[in-house]
Each structure stands twice: as structure tokens, then as C-alpha cells.
Amino acid sequence: MTDVLRRGRASLAFAFLVQGVAFALLVTRIPAIQDRYGVSDALLPAFLAAVPVLAGIGSVVTERLVKTVPPSRVLRWSQPVVLLALLGVGAGEHLAGLAGALAVFGLSVGALDASMNMLGVSLQRAYRRSIMLSFHAAYSLGGIAGASLAWVGAHGQSALWVSYLPVVLVLMPAALIGSRWYADREQGEEDRVSGPVAGRGDGTGSVVAFRLLLPLCLVMTVAYIGDSTVSNWSAKYLQDVLGSSEQTATVPYNVYMVTTLLGRTVGDLGVRRFGAVAVVRAGALVAAAGFAVVAGAPGARVGMLGFTLLGLGLCVLVPQTFAAAGRLFPGASDAAVARLNVFNYVGFLVGSPLVGVLGDVWSYRGAMLVPMALILVTLVHARSFAPEPDRYGGGHERPHAADVGRGSHGL
């Protein structure tokens, strides 16, 4: 295994971790942001919805950008912008400043998410075995760290900028230094590899056939509907429906994050041993069982068991969906990942209001059955995760260094 691969994998894992910290610091301090800027309850959903919408735009722009700029360079410069935008959210004083900071955050997060996963897919191809879950495990670890830092800031009643500034001062230079070792594929690799793509007609490249990508887009959407249901409604559900205390109501999301980390930490071993299709099917079934347990829980303890199952089930779906796009479109994996990444934000936008509306007009127990049913859609499309004949793992685990032919050095 080459040093380029090792350094590329370690530096990319660190980028995922930093992004997990940054995103958690934003979403877990939403009440404090609302208080600082005097954002009304009626206006808050518009601010929150703007971030994933702009992130989707950022992902689309990144698809075009990486035709001329390596994904490593997009990642190298978008990550500091995300951190500075986070600091801007904490340091502003007026609604216009908040809107501007969130706009920059959303656009740069879209570019960051897309470029990170492009590099992850490329590295997995170079390793010729499943490693994608390990990158997303680093993101989960960063999310736990960010949520913990947010709790410290909230407990100490620190100003937002006071909580954010030390994190930015530490992580931004560290991310820039780590970016020296991001590993891109060789120049022109996209043009040399054949796959189920439609030609441009000029012989110079390939484009993604969207009808082949659509099943993965659906899986990505329902996975994030499930994820956003947990992040936005677990505390309210436990307290209002299952009658827990306010303190206990904070536990499910923490449990969900920890089980997500654990599942992703061992998930690559499962893919190598049993194959991606089996792991995805198992994840969908476990997640659906988790929603069923939550919907039928007689009390808080059983409810927390349901959220634990959700973490173990949902954690494998998103990383494997990105990996499947890379296998399905080996000649245009960057474009496939960028387009697939948009449906990350579609699911995030749909999930929270879907459960809220159903909870108000029907019941919150019944509302939990809807994401359960949607997650089961994954079983219909599980064959889309089938690897190539020489699948990653299964006796073909030697690194294939030709896919990652150069490090990205220099800032």
C-alpha cells in the first residue's frame, strides 16, 4: 500500500471529522442563534430551509467545477469557508448578517460534501475494498465532538462567537495542513474507464445516465428523511408522546449518534464479508424495525431502544449509496456523486416537516410509520448496490494505486 494512499485516506478522514464538528456546532445551537438574532418561530423555518437549498446549489456547481479543478482543491478551500461562515453566524448582530453567513455556509457545505465524497469514492476504488464507511464514521465522531462542545458552550452560557472561535482557530489551520495530502485520481482517468454512461458525442468524456442513478437518489432521500426525523423529533417524541423528563428526552439523539459511529466503524468489515447488497438490506430492515419500535413504544426506555436500532440501521445507507454511485459510473463518478449529494438535502428538507404535519393532523406515533415505510423502499432497489464482478473485498483487497496517481500538495 503506497504512502500516497495512506496519507490520502488519513487526511480525508480528518476532513470528514472537521465537517462533522462544524455542522453539529451549527444545528445544536439553533435556539441560541434564534435568541441572538431575535428570529421569530415563524421565520426560523425559512432560515433553516435555506441552508440545504443552497447546499444543493453548491453541489450542482461543484459538479461543473471539478471538470476543470480537482476535487481536492474544491475541498481544500471550501472547508475553511465553512468554518469562517460558522464563525460569522456566531459573531453577527443583525438578521441580514445571519442570512449572509447562512447563505455562505450552505453553498460551501454543498461543495464540501460533494468533493469529500468524490475523493472517498476515488480512494475506495484505489484500495479495491470497502473503506467508505470509515470516512462517514469520522464524520459521526466529529458530530459527537461538536455536540459536546456545543453543550459546554450552552452550559457555560458563553456567547456564540466565544464558543465558535477556538474551534475555528484550531480546526482551520489543521484542515489546511491536512489538505496537502488529499489524493486525486490520475488526470484523464474519467475518460479511460468505461461504464453505463451516455457519451457526449465528441469522444472527450462521459455524462451520467440519470435513469440509472435514480434508484440511488431515492435511497439517499429516504435515508435522510429517516435521519432528519431522528434529529428533529426524537426529543419531542420522547417527552410529549412517551412522557419522559426533559433531561431524558435529550438522550435519544446522543444514543443515535453513538450507534451511528459504532455501526460505521465496523460496517466496512461487513461489506467485505457479506457484500454491499446484504449490508444495505440489513440496514434498511433494522432501521424499519427501529421506527416500528418507536411508534409502538409503551414508554421512554423502549423508545430509546428504537432510536438505538435506527442508528445501527441508517448508518450504512448513505456511505454505501455514494460508493454504489462510484461503482455504477466508474467513468463519471464525480458527476454521479455531485448529483446524488443533492438528494441528501432533499431528504433533509422533506423529513422534518413531513413528520410535523402528520403529527399535527394524525398522531406522532402514526407519523413514525411513514419514514419506516419509506426506508423499506431501499429493499426494492438493493440490487443497485451490487458491485462489479471484481467487487471490493472478496479476495481482491490489494490496493490499486493507478486510480490515485498524485497527491495534491501545496496550499
The predicted pLDDT at position 20 comes to 94
Beta bridge partners of 407: 183
Domains and CATH numbers, the chain: 1-182 (1.20.1250.20), 200-392 (1.20.1250.20)
DSSP type of residue 384: G
Helix (H, G, I), strand (E, B) or coil at 329: coil
User: Angle, nearest 10°, between helix axes 160-178 and 3-27?
Assistant: 170
What CA–CA distance (Å, rounded) separates 226 from 375? Answer: 7
How many CB atoms sit inside 10 A of residue 191's CB?
13
The predicted pLDDT at position 139 comes to 95
- Residue pointed to by grid coordinates 465496523: 266
Note whether 376 and 315 are within 8 A (CB). Answer: no
Kindly report the CA angle at 227 between 139 and 382, in degrees rounded to 5? 95
What CA–CA distance (Å, rounded) separates 266 from 26? Answer: 28
The predicted pLDDT at position 206 comes to 56
How many CB atoms sit inside 10 A of residue 242's CB?
22
Residue 245 CB burial class (10 angstroms; 0-12, 13-18, ≥19)? exposed
The two beta strands, 197-199 and 206-208, are antiparallel
- Residue pointed to by grid coordinates 461489506: 271
The predicted pLDDT at position 191 comes to 37
State in Å, rounded, how far the first CA of the chain is from the last one: 25
Q: Which of 136, 394, 194 is nearest to 277 (CA)?
A: 394
Note whether 207 and 198 are within 8 A (CB). Answer: yes
Note whether 272 and 320 are within 8 A (CB). Answer: no
Cell reading at 85 = 461562515
Question: CA separation (Å) from 239 to 232, 277, 304, 355?
Answer: 13, 37, 12, 16
Give average pLDDT by consecutive 10-residue segment, the chain, 411 residues: 88 97 89 89 85 96 95 97 96 93 97 97 93 96 90 85 95 96 65 39 53 94 95 87 82 88 96 96 98 96 94 96 93 94 94 89 94 96 78 41 40 42
Cell reading at 115 = 468533493
